[in-house]
Structure 1
Amino acid sequence: MRLYEHEAKSIFRSLSISTPQSVLVGSLSELRKVTFPVVLKAQVLLGRRGKAGLIQGADSLDEALSILQDMIGKRFDGHEVKAVLVEEKVDVEKEYYCAATIDRIRHRPLLITSDQGGMEIEEISRVHPETVHKRHFEPGEKIEPYVGREMASRIELKGERLVEMGAVLTKIYTMLVEYDCKLVEINPLVITTDGRILALDAKVDLDEDAMYRHSELRRLGIEPRHEVGELNEREKIAKAAGVPYVELDGDIGTFPGGAGFGIAVLDLISHFGGKAANFMDSGGAPSQERLRLMIGLLMDNPNVKVVFGARFGGISRCDDWARAVVQYVTETRPSKPMIMRMVGNMEKEGWEIFDEARRVDPEPFKNIKIYRWDTPIEEVIKEAIRVARGM
C-alpha cells in the first residue's frame, strides 16, 4: 500500500525525522494560512511529479492560488488531485539519497545511501555507481546506531552532521522493519543552508496484509486501503468481485488460468515483441460468473485488440473454462478476436463443449481460434501478437 507524501511524512515526524513545515490543503480558502515562499506538491501516487508540473514554487498568495486552481480536481495520468501539500521553501546546500527496502535477490533487508540525491536511484547507479553504498541485514536484525553513522561516513559526512545523518538512516531502517514496509525512501534528504537535515520528499510502501498490526497508523489518519481511488472503472469492478486485475499499457488482453501462468504469459508476450494489456488471476476452481466477468473486463477495455486465453487445466478444469467462454460468446457475440489454447484436466470434455457450441451457432465463433496441446503456447502467443498488429 503506497502512501501519499503527506502520510509518509507524518510517520517520519512521529519518528523524529524532520520535514519542512507544511499544511495539507484541499481548497483555495485553506491556502490563506500559509507563509510564503512555498512549494506546492500535488498529492498523487505518481513518480517524477516535478517533470509533470505537479511540484511548483510560489512566492505570493496570488501565484499559489493560480497554481492550486490548476491542480485541485484535475486528473494526471488517471490520478485525480484531491489535496496539495504546501511546504515552506528551503535553501538547499546538499542533496542526498537514502532508502531502506527488501533485496528480492538476496532476500535480505537493505539500507542504501548516496550523496547524489535528487535523481532516481536507477539513474544514480548508472551514472555514479561509485556513490551508491549498501548494507544488508539478516531478516529480523535490528540496526545499531553505529551502523547508521558508518553509512553516513561513506557519504563524506563528519562531526555533528555525521551523527544526525546516521540517526536518520537508523530510523528509516527501523521504520522498514517495525512498520512492515516494503520501501522507505527519502529522495532528496537535504542539508539546508541553515544547517537542518530535512526529508524533502517521502516514498513509503507498506505491506497492506500487515496493517492489522499497526493501530498507531490509524492515529496518524492512515487507514488500510488498496489505492481504490487510483483504479479505473474496470479495476474497481474486478476488485469488488475479488478478481486480481491490473491494467497495463498494451493491446493484448490476457485471460490466463492462474497467477503464475499469467505472469509467464506476460513474459512470453513481451519476449516475442507484443505488449500485454493486463494481468489477471482466475484463482483455483473459479466460478462461471467469475470467468465470464474476467472476459468481459477485457472486452470492455478499448485498448484491447485481441484476447489471448490460455488454460492449463489442474484444479481449474478445462470444461468449466470452456463452458464460461461459450456462454459469454453466445450471449454477447463479441467483435474482438480471441486466440486461445486449452490443455489439461477435463480437456476432452472442454473440447466437446466448444465443438457443440460451434455446431449449434457457428456465427459468434468466427473470430475465435482455440488450439490443442500439440501447438506450443509460444506459437499461439505469436499469432495473438500478429492479430493485435493487424497482420
Structure 2
Amino acid sequence: MDLLEYQAKEWFREMGIPVLPSQKINCISDIKGLKIPYPVVLKSQVRTGGRGRAGGVRFVTTTIDAIAAAQTIFHLPILGEVPEVVLAEAKYDADREFYLAVVLDTATRRPVLLGSPQGGIDVESSLELLQQVVVDGEFSPFYARRLTIKMGLQGALINSVSDIVEKMYGLFVQKDLDLVEINPLGVSATGELMALDGKVTVNDRAIVRHADISLMSQKIARRPSGQNYFDSLGNSYQVEQSGNIGIMGNGAGLVMATLDLVADAGGKVKTCLNLGHGSNLNPSLPSFGDRIEQGLEFLEQDKSIQVVLVNIIGSVPKAVELAEFIGKFIQRHESNSTNKHRAATSYPRIIARFSGLALESAQEQFTALSVPLVESLDEAVSQAVRQAKSSSHRK
C-alpha cells in the first residue's frame, strides 16, 4: 500500500526527519485560509511519479494564483489518477539535492540502504548513480555512515545525512515497510537538510498489525475510483487524441521519460501504461506477465495505435520471459484468424526495449516473433517513431 506524500511526511515529522511547513487542501475554498506565507508550492497528491512533468506541481505567489492553480490540479489526471487532496508547502531553495531510500530486497530478504549524490532523479533510469549498502546484521549507525561515504559526501554532511538515514531505517522497521524514500533531500546553502518529497510503501501483509495503517487502508478501499480495469493492471493516461504510438513500462518515471523521448523524436503518443514493478507481494493482483498481456490487449483495442513501445528495466521479468508474454499475445491473435496477412495487421507493431541481464539469450525468441529487441532506449524510440510514421491504419 502506497501512502500519499502528505501522509509520508506526517510520519517523517514524527520520526524527527525535517519537513517543510505544509497544509492539506481538501477543496478550493481552503486556499483562502492558507497559513503558509507565499511563495508556496502546490502539489497534486497522487500515488505516482512524474507529477512535475504532468503539471501537478505549481509554484504560486498570490492567493489568486493559488486558487487558479489548485483548480487546475484538482481536475488534472496523472497516469489515470485524479487527486482528492492538494498539498500546499513552503518554497525551499536547495543548494544541493540527494536521493535516499531504505528498501526491502525480496530476493535476499534484507533491507538495503540506497543513496545518490543527485536528487530528484528517476531511479529506474539512473541506476548507475545509486550507491547501496546491504544491512546484513543488526542495524547500527555504521551502515548509514558507510552509505554517505560511498555517495561521496564529506565533512558535516556525513553526520547530518547519516542521521536522516538512521531515522528512515527506524521508520522502516517500526511500520513494517517495503520502502521509505526521500527524493529529493534538499540541502540549503547553510547546510540545513529538508525532505522535499517522500514516498512510503507499506508491506501488505503487515497492515493488520498496525491499527493506524489498517484505518488508512480501509479509507483507501472505500474511495471511489474511476480506473476500474486499471485498478489491477496499473495506471494509464491518454496523451494526444491524434497519436498512434502506445507506451508500456514498469514505472511511472520510466513511462514519462519514454514519452518525452518519443515526443522529442517527432512521434505522437496516444496512450501510456504504467505496469508497475515486477515483484508483486500482493497475491490478489495479476502477475507481471499477466499485466504485460493485458496491457497489450488494452492498447490493441484502440485501432489508431500503430506501434507499441514496451520499455522494461530490471531483472523481473527476464528477457526470455518477456518474449514469452509477448509471444502469448501474438499467438492468441494469429490463432483467431485463418488469414495470416490479416492477422498481422490486427494488432499493433511491437518494439521491445529491455535493460537487464541475459539479453542475448532472448534474441532468437524475439526474432521468431518478428519483434525487434534492443537495449538502447534511443534506438527503440527511433524504431518506434519510424515505424509509426510508415504504418498504414490497422483493420
TM-score by length of 2: 0.60
Shift of 1:388: 3.9
Q: Does structure 1 retain, via aligned residues, the 8 Å contact 2:42–2:88? A: yes
5 Å-filtered alignment, 1:335-354, equals: none
- Check if 1:197 corresponds to 2:197: no
Shift of 1:146: 2.4
Q: Partner residue of 1:80? A: 82
Q: How many equivalent pairs are there?
A: 274
Q: 1:74 to 1:19 in 2, by over 3 A?
A: same
5 Å-filtered alignment, 1:207-286, equals: 207-217=203-213, 225-226=220-221, 228-230=223-225, 232-234=227-229, 245-246=232-233, 264=289, 269=293, 275-277=296-298
In 2, Cα distance between equivalents of 1:277 and 1:91 = 43
SS at match of 1:111: strand
In 2, Cα distance between equivalents of 1:157 and 1:262 = 40
Q: 1:234 to 1:173 in 2, by over 3 A?
A: same
Amino acid in structure 2 at the alignment position of 1:172: M
Deviation readout 1:23-54 (Å, 9 max, x if unpaired)? 11122332232311111101112211000110
Partner of residue 167 from structure 1, selected from 160, 163, 168: 163
Q: Does structure 2 retain, via aligned residues, the 8 Å contact 1:112–1:135? A: yes
Amino acid in structure 2 at the alignment position of 1:209: R
In 2, Cα distance between equivalents of 1:227 and 1:233 = 14
SS at match of 1:110: strand
Shift of 1:153: 2.4
Q: Give 5+ residue unaligned stretches, structure 1.
A: 237-244, 252-257, 279-300, 306-375
Q: Does structure 2 retain, via aligned residues, the 8 Å contact 1:95–1:115? A: yes
Amino acid in structure 1 at the alignment position of 2:211: S
In 2, Cα distance between equivalents of 1:89 and 1:377 = 48
- Check if 1:31 corresponds to 2:31: yes
State the percentage of identical aligned residues.
25
SS at match of 1:225: helix
Amino acid in structure 2 at the alignment position of 1:135: V
Partner of residue 40 from structure 1, selected from 34, 39, 42: 42
Q: Does structure 1 retain, via aligned residues, the 8 Å contact 2:297–2:329? A: no
5 Å-filtered alignment, 1:136-147, equals: 136-138=134-136, 141-147=137-143
In 2, Cα distance between equivalents of 1:259 and 1:209 = 12
Q: 1:20 to 1:214 in 2, by over 3 A?
A: same
SS at match of 1:152: helix
Q: Does structure 2 retain, via aligned residues, the 8 Å contact 1:73–1:82? A: no
- Check if 1:383 corresponds to 2:370: no
Q: 1:215 to 1:118 in 2, by over 3 A?
A: same
Q: Does structure 2 retain, via aligned residues, the 8 Å contact 1:211–1:224? A: no
Q: 1:72 to 1:231 in 2, by over 3 A?
A: closer
Deviation readout 1:46-88 (Å, 9 max, x if unpaired)? 2110001101111222221221122224434432222111111
Q: Does structure 2 retain, via aligned residues, the 8 Å contact 1:42–1:84? A: yes
Q: Does structure 1 retain, via aligned residues, the 8 Å contact 2:25–2:85? A: yes
Shift of 1:167: 1.2
Shift of 1:228: 4.9
SS at match of 2:296: coil
Q: Give 5+ residue unaligned stretches, structure 2.
A: 237-245, 248-282, 305-327, 337-342, 349-393
Q: Partner residue of 2:5? A: 5
Larger radius of gyration: 1
TM-score by length of 1: 0.60
Amino acid in structure 2 at the alignment position of 1:190: G
In 2, Cα distance between equivalents of 1:224 and 1:108 = 30
Shift of 1:200: 0.3
